[in-house]
Amino acid sequence: MSTPAQERAPKRVSLSRERVLRCAVELADESGLAALTIRSLAQSMGTKAMSLYHYVANKEEILDGIVDLVFSEIGLPSAEGDWLGEMRRRAHDVRSALQRHPWAVGLLESRTSPGPATLHHHEATLATLRAAGFSVQMTAHAYALLDSYIYGFALQEAALPFKGRDTAAEVTAPIVQLFSTGQYPHMVEIATEHVLKPGYDFGDEFDFGLDLILDGLGRLLETP
Amino acid sequence: MSTPAQERAPKRVSLSRERVLRCAVELADESGLAALTIRSLAQSMGTKAMSLYHYVANKEEILDGIVDLVFSEIGLPSAEGDWLGEMRRRAHDVRSALQRHPWAVGLLESRTSPGPATLHHHEATLATLRAAGFSVQMTAHAYALLDSYIYGFALQEAALPFKGRDTAAEVTAPIVQLFSTGQYPHMVEIATEHVLKPGYDFGDEFDFGLDLILDGLGRLLETP
DNA sequence: AATCTTTTTCGTACAGCGTACGAAAAAGTT
DNA sequence: AACTTTTTCGTACGCTGTACGAAAAAGATT
């Protein structure tokens, strides 16, 4: 080690738009979206701020780019497979991608120009629903419903002060203590009888809603 | 008019935490979250930046505060009413609040300390579900599902480049032109046969998903 | 009315942000 | 070796949140 281990060695790598975006994702994953500044990104790539502007027009383009990069990680559903399985798998894939990159959820709200990976993803999903027999209208309804649920779940998950199995207790217990016998009896009830139970993971709630939705959609497909 | 009509008259008003937050909401509504800076907020109140810090500790507290203010606009569901009607009304209320204040959706992801109005809202919703006969576990499932859907829908709505009835065409038509006979046939299909139809409003999709979800929950309540 | 105390305002300053501009350096071509 | 193109980046500007301490205003007490 030449540098006295103050930070991750900024290994100098030949630049490119692709690499800028990949490093941006990495940096956001490690340190959060707020830490993703042009200067810090440049430093993590072993270069200087203004050098990046040869590959991206501005920061907006970086944000658009990393959102599309997240979508590119998600496998495309197949119109040939059974739609229920494909939609369930897709839902899980999208959720886990948004779990790996929690900052992406907050970015979705402000990105209005989808990238190519995003467009391909939408196209493949629509194709699968249409092939399943849904009408054009029904496909629009179903897609809006599914994505609303997935994004909303990811949004709530990103806002949680804890993450994963058995990690809620540390945060929740003192709050419950504070509220007990107070003005929030039902929140305390949910906390003590559900959240604080061993093995609790908010992520487990995902399948409940997903199955209910897919069930409802399946019902509508059968009885037109 | 003394000042030559350059901006909205910054009517000097006696300060208070309450008023700071209210003005912050107003400013974010009018000019977007990015325009909500300490300096611009101060100017809109006819005072100077540092004066605000006597009422709020920092900007984070302002963001927490305005999110809670949005929740305070939403009527509380009643545990006495029929749960289905109450939950439907609540869903619509939350959605329209997030439509009035689109910036709030993006803020939800980063706020981990809910304010009093938010807590009261959660408490009342949980109470209604429990009173309807849902078990503790089922209430947790139902709440996560409903809020995921509502937030996710609001998120997608906020990301749309158009808003309201018959406004999609202007934005969508040129894109369809660009893509037609191209690699996105199903997106074009949805656009031409659904989105571009007169009277289209993405907001109308909300009820489809909401009814499907409430239907599914009702079914689970009856057959335990 | 004068003095003292507390509350409220805000001028100045600083580090960090995105990025415009143009020069310097490097790489590629002839 | 000379010229051209591509790539790097030093400097500077206006913006951000906010630390610090002084100034001003308001209230209290004598």
Summarised one tens digit per residue, pLDDT across range B16-38 is 999 999 999 999 999 999 999 99
Tokens of B6: 């350059």
Task: Please check the confidence at residue B2 and state whether its pLDDT lies above 90.
Answer: no
Domain boundaries, chain B: 1-56, 64-161+205-224, 165-200
DSSP H or E segment with residue A18: helix A17-31
| CA pair distance B182, B201, nearest whole angstrom | 26
pLDDT of residue B7: 38
Q: How many Å apart are A19 CA and D11 C1'?
A: 26
Taking the CA atoms of B102, B30, B76 and B106 in sequence, report the sign of the dihedral they define.
positive
Asked if CATH classification 1.10.357.10 holds for the domain at B64-161+205-224, the reply, yes or no, is yes
- B151 pLDDT above the threshold of 90: yes
pLDDT 10s digit of each residue in chain A, 224 long? 333 333 344 556 677 999 999 999 999 999 999 999 999 999 999 999 999 999 999 999 999 999 999 999 999 999 999 999 999 999 999 999 999 999 999 999 889 989 999 999 999 999 999 999 999 999 999 999 999 999 999 999 999 989 889 999 999 999 999 888 789 999 999 999 999 999 999 999 999 999 999 999 999 999 86
Q: B106 with B59: CB under 8 angstroms?
A: no
> To the nearest whole angstrom, how far is the Cα of B205 from the nearest Cα of chain A?
6
Tell which residue, A189, A13, A135, has the closest CA to residue B136: A189
Residues contacting residue A27 through CB under 8 Å, at least 6 positions apart: A35, A36, A40, A41, A44
Q: What is the pLDDT of residue B126?
A: 98
Q: Do A148 and B145 touch (CB under 8 A)?
A: no
Q: Look at the domain B1-56 and name its fold.
A: Arc Repressor Mutant, subunit A (1.10.10)
| Residue entry with tokens 């809109």 | B44
Q: Which of residues 122-181 of B touch A (CB under 8 A)?
A: 122-123, 126-127, 130, 136-137, 139-141, 144-145, 147-153, 155-156, 158-161
The Cα A134–Cα A193 span in angstroms is 41
Size of interface A-B (CB pairs under 8 A): 166
DSSP A81: S
Which residue has tokens 């009835």? B165
Does 1.10.10.60 match the CATH number of domain A17-56? yes
**In B, which residues are within 8 Å of A109 by CB distance?**
102, 105-106, 155, 158-159
Average pLDDT over residues B89-107: 97
**What distance lies between CA A72 and its chain's CA centroid?**
12
Looking at B7-11, B130-134, B218-222, which range is the least confident one?
B7-11
DSSP B163: -
For residues B123 and A183, give the distance between their C-alpha atoms in angstroms, rounded to a whole number: 9
Q: What is the mean pLDDT of residues B191-201?
A: 95
Chain A residues closer than 8 Å to B145 by CB: 149, 205, 208-209, 212
Look-up: residue for tokens 């706020």? Answer: B111
Distances (CA, A) of B8 to B4, B41, B48, B66: 10, 12, 16, 21
Looking up tokens 């383009």, which residue turns up? A61
> Does the domain formed by A64-160+203-224 have CATH 3.40.50.2000?
no
Which of B106, B136, B155 is nearest residue A152 as measured by Cβ atoms? B155
- pLDDT value of position B13: 63
